[in-house]
Amino acid sequence: MEPNDIRIGNGYDVHALGEGIRMRLCGLDIEHTHGFIAHSDGDVAIHALCDAILGALALGDIGKHFPDNSQEFKGIDSRILLTKVMELAAERGYRLGNADITIALQAPKLAGYIPAMRESLAGLCGCRADRISVKATTTEKLGFVGRKEGCEVWATVLMVSD
């Protein structure tokens, strides 16, 4: 770790939608008929955020740290993965400066969940919610997101050291 260091990272993840699965985003249950098909709980937003944090610190990606063929991580609550990623960062002297997350999903509408999503991620990242931005968009019915086949998330973070 270097003092007063600032590192930028980006993360991207996609999961397919499946009927009858509980939808999880940013550590919250989302009321919907479909959820995300995945080895874990399918929290595509947390996965993108984890990859952004790991990317900022050049620590590889989420698949390297939590292999999706491992029984240990089957069905795992992605909040545990984010907590572990933040521990890896803290061990190296870094904390989250801020995060900006964009979720592309055709349905359901996420606007009502955004404040709780920010609080949820802030709690896991050990910062205030005003350092976490969560934005949601549809893709105007275009592409796989627009056809309600999946969800796409981009995350950008700054990691800082003191």
Name the site residues for Mg ion (rule: CB under 5 A): 13, 47
Cross-strand partners of 151: 15
What is each CA distance from 129 to 21, 86, 89, 112, in whole angstroms? Answer: 28, 16, 19, 16
Nearer residue to Mg ion within complex by CB, 59 or 129: 59
Q: How far is the CB of 137 from Mg ion (least distance, A)?
A: 19
Q: What residue is closest to Mg ion based on CB?
A: 47
Nearer residue to Mg ion within complex by CB, 47 or 131: 47
Dist. CA 22–CA 147, nearest whole Å: 19
Nearer residue to Mg ion within complex by CB, 45 or 131: 45
Nearest to 48 by CA among 72, 75, 15, 76: 15
Q: How far is the CB of 38 from Mg ion (least distance, A)?
A: 6
Q: How far is the CB of 89 from Mg ion (least distance, A)?
A: 19
